[in-house]
Amino acid sequence: GPGRPIQDIARDFANYIYDNYTSKGREVDIIGHSMGGLVTRVAVLGTGEGWAGFPPEVAVDDIVTAGTPHQGLVYGCQAECTYQWRQMTSGENGTGFIDKLHESAPGAADRGLDDPWAAGIDWSLIGSNEDSLVSYSSAIDQGYFAHQKYGYDEDLNGDGTADCSDPDVDHGELISLTGDGGYCLRYWHHGPHGGPHTTSDGWSPLKAARNAVR
């Protein structure tokens, strides 16, 4: 339920991966939407850092998060909220959960996706400037590493005016829109000539996620 800590759900998910796949020599790819991306991130983080109750390892090849509040929700907890909602709130009204995803600590570096706990996994983050629940910058974890980042934004060059138009890409649409083209897309990848690159005929969110895990 909504009162259950995200890290407890992540522990169960990590054990599910271990029991059904890792222990049988199989790797998995994961696409996580919204809080599901945090559950996935913490499943790998808790395993990598050896948290109590987490399995010895999880064999994960690719992870894609879409509309995940890596830096918190747009409208975090203001008054009465579920515990999970408070965990996804940054700042003083939250629980400190979001801060811990990025904190510096002995042996944890900055808990970034390029640190040892995440080694061997290819990370792709997807966000939309039209997402009313999770901001563009939060969804792509702006300022922090990922191998690929995809951002849906009609203002392709960032000058404050629309350069193209596409279907509305709100929070739910990030896991429902399909198609090979027709989207205003800004994307980056780690390495030489990584971008950002822009296109007015980009992949749909589900196509981007599918290609990211392939």
Question: What whole-number distance in Å separates Cα of residue 85 and Cα of residue 21?
Answer: 30
Residue 104 pLDDT: 59
Question: What whole-number distance in Å separates Cα of residue 122 and Cα of residue 195?
Answer: 18
Residue 90 pLDDT: 93
Tell me how crowded residue 47 is: count the other CB atoms within 10 A of its CB. Answer: 23
Question: What percent of the chain has a predicted confidence (pLDDT) above 70?
Answer: 97
Give me the mean pLDDT over the 28-52 stretch. 97
Q: pLDDT tens across 153-199, in order?
A: 999 988 999 999 999 999 999 999 999 999 999 999 988 889 899 99
Kindly write down the DSSP assignment for every residue of 195-208, as one continuous string.
--EEEEEEPPHHHH
Question: What whole-number distance in Å separates Cα of residue 32 and Cα of residue 124?
Answer: 11
3-state secondary structure of 126: strand
Kindly report the pTM of this predicted structure.
0.94
Q: pLDDT tens across 82-138, in order?
A: 999 999 999 889 999 998 888 755 555 568 898 889 999 999 999 999 999 999 999
CA geometry: angle at 96 spanning 95 and 100, to 5°? 145
Residue 174 pLDDT: 98
